[in-house]
Amino acid sequence: MSSFRTLDSADVSGKRVLVRVDLNVPMENGRITDATRIERVAPTITEIAGKSGKVILLAHFGRPKGRDPKESLRPVAAEVSRIINKHVGFADDCVGAYAEKAIAAMNNGDILLLENTRFHRQEETNDPAFVEQLAKLGDIFVNDAFSAAHRAHATTEGLAHKLPAYAGRTMQAELEALGKALDHPQRPVIAIVGGAKVSTKLDLLENLISKVQALVIGGAMANTFIHAQGFGVGKSLAEKDMADTARRIMAKAEEVSCAIILPIDGIVAFHFQANAPSHAYGLDAIPSDGMVLDIGPQSIGRVKAAIDDAATLVWNGPVCI
């Protein structure tokens, strides 16, 4: 894996440091139910603040269609503050007057969380003008959002071309682990890739099949591949317009002798809600009004066998919905 710059070579003292983090944490009734993602990025935040940098946190939350108070990051700021035991300010926008005023008031070592970047549709389109607005807010860019780094968005990719860019400590650890796993791995190498969309992980899938001996595909993404094979997936989440792409990936995998391991059964429910009644069905028997929400018991056995065979395991994303 090519070399990359880390915080070891960054002079952050007195600088405005835009830090992209993943704070897309699960929340129920306004309460964060799992703070793992915040805990993972805490070392980067505290290190930069400890070196007298002005820490300006950029993050998305949910999938809002424009500004939506229910998708605000304001409650997350309080949880970040609790975890790092230091005050975290909050700005009501990630660009414009609110952000500029809040940043101008910062002292060295202060920490500020900007509002949900996805309140602006230009974030996901990586709009150059939006990137310019963001870049004006900082002197240095630090990416510590490994879990969102596969998306070419304004705050994950665009800013890296406008400001001196560095990997945060979480990003550094993940990249170093990937280097060990993919550059000089012990074989066989097995990769497990889950998640919702083939379209967001297309480059990852095509890159992996040339490096691993077997690729396990799960999550809603697997439904797309199952549909591409001619099976019905009922009302399951699936990118049916990506069927040709899925078939191309499977054909390329066969050419390079990479085994594609897909679910052979699934846990099906008829309502997408907690504790909904569910049942395991084979792929040839998915009800037309059902939704595949997880891999079934036979598929679990196949995944377990693949893991048992692996000398090196690379895992990205959940195999459930």
Question: What's the confidence (pLDDT) of residue 2?
Answer: 56
What are the residues whose beta carbons fall under 8 Å from the beta carbon of 156, sequence distance 6 or more? 20, 143, 145, 148, 149
- 320 — phi, psi (to 5°)? -110, 175
pLDDT tens for each residue of 233-245 = 999 999 999 999 9
Residue 187 burial (C-beta neighbours within 10 Å; 0-12, 13-18, 19+):
exposed
The confidence band for 181, taking pLDDT boundaries of 50, 70 and 90, is: confident
β-bridge pairing 312-316 and 89-91: unpaired
Question: Model-level pTM?
Answer: 0.76
Classify domain 185-316 by CATH architecture.
3-Layer(aba) Sandwich (3.40)
pLDDT for 78 beyond 80: yes
Asked if 43 contacts 8 with a C-beta cutoff of 8 angstroms, the reply is no
Q: Read off the tokens for 223.
A: 């439904």
pLDDT tens for each residue of 125-142 = 999 999 999 999 999 999
Asked if 233 contacts 226 with a C-beta cutoff of 8 angstroms, the reply is yes
Question: What's the confidence (pLDDT) of residue 197?
Answer: 83
Asked if 185 contacts 207 with a C-beta cutoff of 8 angstroms, the reply is no
Asked if 25 contacts 38 with a C-beta cutoff of 8 angstroms, the reply is yes
Chain mean pLDDT for the chain: 94
Question: What's the confidence (pLDDT) of residue 67?
Answer: 93
pLDDT for 291 beyond 90: yes
pLDDT for 258 beyond 60: yes
The confidence band for 168, taking pLDDT boundaries of 50, 70 and 90, is: very high
Report, as an integer, the average pLDDT of 43-72.
Answer: 96
The residues of the chain that CATH labels 3.40.50.1260 are 7-173, 185-316
Give the single-character DSSP code of 30.
T
| Cα dihedral 215, 218, 221, 226 sign | positive
Amino acid residing at 292: V
The confidence band for 305, taking pLDDT boundaries of 50, 70 and 90, is: very high
Asked if 240 contacts 278 with a C-beta cutoff of 8 angstroms, the reply is no
pLDDT for 1 beyond 80: no
Residue 184: half-sphere exposure toward Cβ, Cα within 13 Å: 1
Report, as an integer, the average pLDDT of 201-226.
Answer: 91
Asked if 141 contacts 118 with a C-beta cutoff of 8 angstroms, the reply is no
pLDDT tens for each residue of 86-122 = 999 999 999 999 999 999 999 999 999 999 999 999 9
Between 90 and 3, whose confidence is greater? 90
Asked if 167 contacts 144 with a C-beta cutoff of 8 angstroms, the reply is yes
Cα 80 to chain centroid, rounded: 19
Specify which residues 140 forms β-bridges with.
17
> What homologous superfamily does CATH list for 7-173?
Phosphoglycerate kinase, N-terminal domain (3.40.50.1260)
CB-based contacts of 249-257 (< 8 A; 24+ apart in sequence): 249/202, 249/205, 249/206, 249/209, 249/225, 250/225, 252/206, 252/209, 253/209, 253/215, 256/209, 256/210, 257/213
The confidence band for 3, taking pLDDT boundaries of 50, 70 and 90, is: confident
